[in-house]
Amino acid sequence: MKVMEGIAMAVTRIILVGSALAAFRDAVTMPIIAFILLAIFFLGLIYQLFSENISIIGILSIFSIIIYFSGHLLIGGYNGMSLALFIFGILFIVIGLTMTGGFTFMTGIVLLLASILLVSGNLILSFLYFLIIVLLAILEWVIFVKNKKRKIPFLNRLILTDATDAESGYTSFDDRSYLLGETAVTVTPLRPSGTIRYDDQRIDAVAEGSYIAGNVRVKVIHVEGTRVVVRPMED
């Protein structure tokens, strides 16, 4: 008798689980719910792109696409390829956002789109969803870029944004701007180029005019990179 009761309870549980899964499947595959889940995913993903760290909205977007995909798989048209594309797509997106950057992220997006199209079973409806979502995504992108002046953090790993000018503390190896206004002595005549001596340094220089004799005190009046222009000192 107890064995029969146990079997009955197990069957009841299976029926309840099956009913719950069927209700979940029917809800997720409703066109409006499917559209909302896809919109949350793609719009949340764009929001995450403009965030420095993983945000709640970014996590919610991942959960929304998992729910979408799970519900459509329960329809019965199981596709091993779509599941593989989905798993690798999510993996590439997460890696792209957290570590490697743009190429991995975009690869994940392409794989995920392919998996959504394969599992949806309705290309026309999926295309309509994507069209509306793209319009919303463009609007969100414009708001972030134009109004909020935000930038995509992971692009900093792909693009060199640091300035390499003097104001940022960088100088070239042959920068001689320190000579400007200093006095030196010509070692050789400048016709108009030659050599001057500044302290213990021998430096190539150019006369302001056409000629300066040797052993003449000169003043540096212009420096541009390695080009040093001098004029004779007045007695």
What is the model's pLDDT at position 108?
A: 81
Q: Is the confidence at residue 127, as pLDDT, over 50?
A: yes
pLDDT tens digits, one per residue of 139-163: 877 787 776 555 555 555 444 445 4
pLDDT digits (tens, 9 = 90+) for 28-38: 777 788 788 88
Return the higher-pLDDT residue of 75 and 8.
75
| Average pLDDT value for residue range 98-109 | 72
Q: pTM of the full predicted structure?
A: 0.49
Amino acid at 67: I
- Angstrom distance (rounded) from CA 214 to CA 196: 9
Name the band, by pLDDT with cuts 50, 70 and 90, for residue 63: confident
Higher pLDDT, 190 or 92: 190
Residue 22: band (very low, low, confident or very high) from pLDDT cuts 50, 70, 90: confident
User: Quick one: pLDDT at residue 137?
Assistant: 80
Least confident of 37-41, 75-79, 108-112: 75-79
At 164-182, the pLDDT tens digits run 555 544 455 567 888 898 9
pLDDT at 3 over 60: no
Residues 53-61: what's their mean pLDDT? Answer: 80
- Helix or strand run (H / E) with residue 154: none
Average pLDDT over residues 194-208: 90
Helix (H, G, I), strand (E, B) or coil at 214: coil
The segment with the largest mean pLDDT, out of 37-41, 54-58, 125-129, is 37-41
As a whole number of angstroms, the distance between CA 182 and CA 222 comes to 10
The rounded percent of the chain whose pLDDT value lies above 70 is 72
| 71 vs 20: CA distance, rounded Å | 12
Predicted local confidence at residue 158, as pLDDT? 46
Say which residue the tokens 């991995």 belong to. 104
User: C-alpha dihedral over 6, 8, 9, 14, to 10 degrees?
Assistant: 130
Q: Mean pLDDT, to the nearest integer, of 10-24?
A: 65
Would you state the torsion angle of the CA atoms of residues 35, 36, 37, 43, taken in this order, to the nearest 10 degrees?
100
